[in-house]
Structure 1
Amino acid sequence: MTKGGYNLGIDFKGGTLLELHFSPAVPVGDIRDALASVDVGTRTLDLRQSEIKEFGTPNDILIRVEEEAEGTAVADGIRNTLQSRFGSNIPVESEWLRRQEAVGPKIGEELKSDAISAIFVSIVLIIIYIWFRFKRIQYGIAAVVALVHDVLITLGVFSLFDLEISLAIVASLLTIVGYSLNDTIVVFDRVREDLRLYRRETFGQILNRSINECLNRTVLTSGTTLFVVTSLLTLGGEVIHDFALALLVGVIIGTYSSSFVASPVVYFWLGRGEKEPTSAQTGAQNAA
């Protein structure tokens, strides 16, 4: 993340995206040359510096333009230019235009704001829910620390490899939050039960026991989830590749954070330095 921020997609920055299919294929360099002069309304734009690349196969071309205009003017200008230049390489209209998106800068800013708001509202609700369920706010804060850890590492991977952050990636991050939270609650619930069963053990011993008891369940659940996500990543195609990659990273990170990030944070507050069962344990037992 420190190397230059995030590669925000059309959803957040605004602009135009086109996915086109040519048969036979047209080299990216020829398409870039053709876009040196594109008529958009009363203007003529040089779009050669836009992102133009193959998308899955040499026949499929992805064009991402940050140039803004009303409605679909930029997309229409690009399509008209390429049709006049490569008419023999263009099949019927329904097969040529695979995808078209146009987002204005104002909408992009609103989507960015809504995405950030959704994440923060989720964090607050998570703390309240776990506080209510386990009768101690420390459990809620520990769970959120683990979730923030999962999200930051996933975003760090996307920043490191300069992968695009789109609304689909925001959806994957919320999915990761839900998955990791479920694992964390399972561990905390086992801690609550063991506090009631093993009253003579210290909080640290009970925490260690609970993690071990949940380990088989965690490994099996994560293994089956990773199998599905890996299948999406390898077989799902370019359209959902980044979404599946975010889930893959998030599930792997979330698997260990539930036990080895959230639990130590709880121990830091409730059990650090104790030698005998403390009032913190007694309170948790009574609450359970």
Structure 2
Amino acid sequence: MSKLGAIGAKLHRGEISYDFVGKRKLWFTVSAVLVLLSIAGLAWRGLALGIEFRGGNEFIAAAKVNDSTVADVREAVIATNAQELGDPIVTTLNDNKVRVQTRPLSDADVLKVRDAIAREVGISNPEQVNRQQIGASWGAQIANKALLALGIFLFLVFFVIWLYFREPKGSMAAIIALVHDVLITIGLYALIGFDVTPATVIGILTILGYSLYDTVVVFDKVRENTRGITGSNRQTYSDAANLAVNQTVVRSINTTIIALLPIGSILVVGTFVLGSGPLKDLSLALFIGVAVGAYSSIFIAPALLAAFKEREPAMQALDRRVKARRAQAAGAARPVAGVAVAGAGGGVATIEGPRPQDKGTRNAPKAGPTGGGSPRPISKTSSAGRPQPKRKPRSKRGK
């Protein structure tokens, strides 16, 4: 944890940086593939709706549960040949009960199924097998109310983010990220075949709030880093947004881990200790949704916001200014080209060309073999390093 905290401090100060926003095409491609797989799963397999949505009968009987209990009870129920029985779902509860879920049955078929369950688990009186009938209309009402709640939630999210950030593009990015989270979560349920129950719907609505909370934290940092950004030419909007993600990524990871630990504990207890039930359905939806929401708040939502904002003329002009400034700085940092010559001691010397600031200087020394332009005479030496004798000046002849 201390190492992670040190990395977080360096990210916040800008000493190290990961290009989250700059690689948005990669993240968008990954999300597009996941969303398409989710839609394909929904179209191909559909959702495994629980008995609360499709209606039917539920039988619960006390029994000594062992490894073959589920298979034995299921075969006994199928052997009744009840009409409209379909494929019964047999599970165990708390290691001391058996639950059988079937489609809606007639009264005569209900008696057959109850008698078969009682004989298989060793109950003398079939009346001790509890039976509950659930109508499909009740499940339809739950589904309609869930869709209505989802629509109201998305509308309020768009309005609140717009009001808080004064930025409709931020609202659009947050809504797209939320829809992305819901589609992937539901698609995973369809592909794997998890049962969708009212507890699942509650879990999905809950993860929307968590995903939105994490996204708003990142957006708030983006707003802080981009305040007055058009008045300078030091960084683009994407650079400022990427800095915001780097400054909050460790916090997002820590929050996600802390949230997943208790949810994972509830999932383990609900699955392996209590058996199938609302606790398992709720924790499963929360576990998947929190993980997907953390991914979208880091990789998807800030990248969408940057992509939307950089379509604005002011941000495009800022991008051109920043690129021109960086190109000018890169040109000034290049070394001056020179000519390498071998020295007397075997070393290499570099004779640099004229500098731009020396142009037009009258007293600049001229390059030549004798070093003309130097104020002092330079004695010539031979290759052996001996001084050469001076020649006598020629006598002038008169005409």
Shorter-chain TM-score range: 0.7 to 0.9
CA RMSD of aligned residues (A): 3.2
Distance 1:260 1:275, change over 3 A: farther
The reply on whether 1:202 has 2:236 as its aligned counterpart is: yes
1:235 to partner: Cα distance: 2.2
Counterparts of 1:126-137 in structure 2 under 5 Å?
126-137=157-168
Residues 124-156 of structure 1 show CA distances to partners (whole Å, capped at 9, x for unaligned) of 111111111111211111111111111111111
1:36 to partner: Cα distance: 4.4
TM-score by length of 2: 0.59
The reply on whether 1:6 has 2:11 as its aligned counterpart is: no
**Aligned match for 1:181, one of 189, 212, 218:** 212
1:90 to partner: Cα distance: 6.9
Q: Which runs of 5+ in 1 are unaligned?
A: 39-44, 279-288
Distance 1:265 1:90, change over 3 A: farther
Question: Aligned residue for 2:169?
Answer: 138
> What secondary structure, in the 3-state scheme, does the structure 2 residue paired with 1:181 have?
helix
More helix by share: 1
The reply on whether 1:264 has 2:306 as its aligned counterpart is: no
Number of residue-to-residue matches in the alignment: 266
Question: Aligned residue for 1:21?
Answer: 62
Distance 1:271 1:85, change over 3 A: same
Question: Aligned residue for 2:193?
Answer: 162
1:19 to partner: Cα distance: 3.5
1:34 to partner: Cα distance: 4.9
1:254 to partner: Cα distance: 0.7
Distance 1:196 1:90, change over 3 A: farther
Distance 1:163 1:78, change over 3 A: farther
Which letter does structure 2 place at the counterpart of 1:245?
Answer: L
CA distance in 1, matches of 2:172, 2:303: 12
**Aligned match for 1:228, one of 239, 262, 287:** 262
1:169 to partner: Cα distance: 0.6
**Aligned match for 2:252, one of 210, 215, 218:** 218
Counterparts of 1:49-198 in structure 2 under 5 Å?
49-55=86-92, 60-67=97-104, 77=111, 80-82=114-116, 85-86=119-120, 88-89=122-123, 101-196=132-227
> What secondary structure, in the 3-state scheme, does the structure 1 residue paired with 2:86 have?
coil
| Alpha carbons 2:54, 2:136 under 8 Å: kept | yes
CA distance in 2, matches of 1:241, 1:194: 42
CA distance in 1, matches of 2:180, 2:45: 20
**Aligned match for 2:316, one of 237, 250, 274:** 274
Distance 1:193 1:11, change over 3 A: same
CA distance in 2, matches of 1:68, 1:173: 31
Distance 1:265 1:77, change over 3 A: same
Q: Answer with 1 or 2: which has the greater Rg.
A: 2
Distance 1:262 1:33, change over 3 A: same
Distance 1:216 1:119, change over 3 A: same
Distance 1:75 1:264, change over 3 A: farther
Q: Which runs of 5+ in 2 are unaligned?
A: 1-40, 321-399
> What secondary structure, in the 3-state scheme, does the structure 2 residue paired with 1:189 have?
helix
Question: Aligned residue for 1:246?
Answer: 285
CA distance in 2, matches of 1:59, 1:16: 20
1:84 to partner: Cα distance: 5.5
1:255 to partner: Cα distance: 0.6
1:178 to partner: Cα distance: 0.5
Question: Aligned residue for 1:284?
Answer: none
> What secondary structure, in the 3-state scheme, does the structure 2 residue paired with 1:23 have?
coil
1:111 to partner: Cα distance: 1.6
Which letter does structure 2 place at the counterpart of 1:8?
Answer: L
1:58 to partner: Cα distance: 6.9
1:16 to partner: Cα distance: 2.0
| Alpha carbons 1:53, 1:62 under 8 Å: kept | yes
Residues 147-193 of structure 1 show CA distances to partners (whole Å, capped at 9, x for unaligned) of 11111111111111111111111111011101000000001111112
1:243 to partner: Cα distance: 2.5
How high is the sequence identity, in percent, across the aligned residues? 28
Residues 194-229 of structure 1 show CA distances to partners (whole Å, capped at 9, x for unaligned) of 223766332111101111111121011011111111
CA distance in 2, matches of 1:267, 1:101: 54
| Alpha carbons 1:28, 1:52 under 8 Å: kept | no
Question: Aligned residue for 1:286?
Answer: none
